[in-house]
Chains A and B, each alone.
Chain A
Amino acid sequence: MARLVVMGGGVSGHTAATFAKKWLGSKHEVVVVTPNSLWNWIPSNIWVGVGEMKKEDVTFALAPVYKKAGIDYRQAKAISIHPEGNNSGDKPYITIEYTSKEKEGQTEELTYDYLINATGPKLNFAATPGLGDANGIGEHTVSVCTADHAVHASHELHKVFQKAKTKKQKILVGTGHGMCTCQGAAFEYIFNIEHEAKKAGVRDNVDIKWISNESFLGDFGMGGMHLNVGGYTASSKIFAESLYSERKLSWIIGAHVNKVEKGKAHYELLDGSTGVEEFDFAMLIPPFAGVGLKALNKAGEDITETLFAPNGFLKVDANYAAGAYENWKASDWPRTLQNPTYGNIFAVGIAFAPPHPISKPMSSPNGTPITPTPPRTGMPSAMMGKAVARSIVDMINGASKPTHTACMAEMGAACVASAGKGLFSGTAAAMTVYPVVPDFEKYPGIGRDINMTTGEIGLAGHWIKHFLHFAFIWKAKLKPLWTIIPE
């Protein structure tokens, strides 16, 4: 009997674990180690963050789902990886520390035959002084990265709406550091705030501004994209600027937020100038880092640098020596997501170390890097989870190497950014992009398939967003026919 251990129970880890168990059956063991007791459909946190949904609408308890699936669930956080075992034996293992009430603080060694790192990100609020605190709930700003953060954000937002009935209020939304990713979440949140402000009858008294590390509006950490719109190949810059202008949202771009104080965000721009933006409410996404796993060899020596990149993400089959932007190729991106040193370790979702950003690296004249890091959440992370699960199942059954690939330069992504939640009010931007990482050799000029890279605004996007919300929670709960719902 082989044992697959999945560290992390988010979108990618949950997908990998559930499919692996389905394919492996009772002959082999699947263990999920995650510090969380709840699964969270993160895209809908945006609706929680404006009060349109409750935490219970976007989360569910993992334990009963894993019990039904026959998956061994450990509510614990992984501390270290020992890929060569230790002096007592060669069997690789990880150490875990329980976070459940019953076993809180207890540690355990958990052996594995195959290991998937799907730990997601550490929300690195500490990178920007004043951005969040040790609990992640903002000190001066709010976040929508978790369901609890989003509940807090909603409370703070409605306080501001209340104040806006008598006094002008300033809202700031975007990224809280020069190296952030996930601009899409902030993008969706700002449009939902604008919509809710209108609904609350306070839009005229609320000044809403965007601040981000993108060098142009619509970069999204993907170097932007060209969309097939109205017979033209139009840059996402035009698409995004149009959306912001239509809704009377102003913007600051190319910004590294370097300090946040009560009601003030200090920033440096790509041209080296600095500024301060005042706010009554700010939702600034923190930068992401690896969760801080250590790796030790058989002798107990630290080999963290062998297994992980400096940012804490796990090295996989990517080309980490691509060098300057001019040398980047689609083929730099990992395909099997297998660690090059230890073939039984894989990483999926945010946990894998990308070879380099997708957006062109930029820095201010002062040397401050201001570049979006690559997005790898949502649809791509689920596809990675499924592909890696399939490869591992095949390897357990005798294959000598991974049999499936999930390369961000060979996969597309669909993104629906809502503005409001109603079925007949508000509108959403429905975007598709193929591939996520541009391939300028295959698609000269714009790097992507223009027929599959599109964006449009309308109610249809809202309906899709609703459909995705219910479909993916249905799938994650392993309800009937869950396997036919695509990633």
Chain B
Amino acid sequence: MAAKHMEHIQPYSLQSGTMIPTNFRKFLRTCVIWQLMRFIAINIKMTILILRSHH
């Protein structure tokens, strides 16, 4: 069964050529445990980025 949030995608419309997240991906976006891990990972990535950017 199609996910409810995909109902608006009409064939051959502007929106039909894009990728739409699955329900599992949407769940992960607000899953606190997963997001805590992502928070740490993104911060590490941003720190590396900052260190590489200063000359």
Chain A residues engaging chain B, CB cutoff 8 angstroms: 238, 241-242, 244-246, 248, 250-251, 383, 386-387, 404-407, 410-414, 424-425, 427, 430, 432, 434, 452, 454, 456-461, 463-464, 486-487
Contact = CB atoms under 8 A, between A and B. Distances in A.
A458 B5 CA distance: 17
Contact of B19 (A238, A407, A432): A238
30 contacts: A238-B18, A241-B17, A242-B18, A242-B20, A245-B9, A246-B5, A250-B14, A383-B53, A383-B54, A410-B55, A411-B54, A411-B55, A414-B46, A414-B49, A414-B50, A432-B45, A432-B49, A434-B52, A434-B53, A452-B48, A452-B49, A454-B45, A457-B29, A458-B28, A458-B34, A458-B38, A460-B42, A463-B39, A464-B43, A464-B46
A251 B14 contact: yes
B18 A387 contact: no
B45 A407 contact: no
A383 B39 CA distance: 23
Contact of B20 (A246, A414, A425, A460): A246
Interface string B24-48: 0000111010111011001101111
A430 B42 contact: yes
Nearest to B51: A486
Contacts of A434: 49, 52-53
By secondary structure, the A interface counts as: mixed
B15 interface: yes
A454 B18 CA distance: 18
B55 to A, nearest CB: 5
Nearest to B28: A458
B54 A387 contact: yes
A415 to B, nearest CB: 10
Given A246-B21, A463-B39, A407 B14 contact: no
A459 B30 contact: yes
B55 A406 contact: yes
B24 to A, nearest CB: 12
Contacts of A459: 29-30, 32, 35
A460 B49 contact: no
Given A458-B29, A460-B38, 5 more contacts: A245-B9, A427-B29, A452-B45, A460-B42, A487-B50
Contact of B55 (A245, A404, A458): A404
A405 B55 contact: yes
8 nearest CB pairs, A to B: A411-B53, A245-B15, A460-B39, A241-B18, A412-B49, A460-B38, A458-B29, A459-B35
A184 to B, nearest CB: 16
Contacts of A411: 52-55
Contacts of B8: 245, 248
A463 B52 CA distance: 23
Nearest to B38: A460
Contacts of B48: 452
A460 B18 CA distance: 24
A464 B45 contact: no
A461 B46 CA distance: 12
A404 to B, nearest CB: 6
Contacts of A458: 28-30, 34-35, 38
Contact of A432 (B9, B14, B21, B46): B46
Given A245-B9, A434-B49, A452-B52, A461 B18 contact: no
A250 B14 CA distance: 8
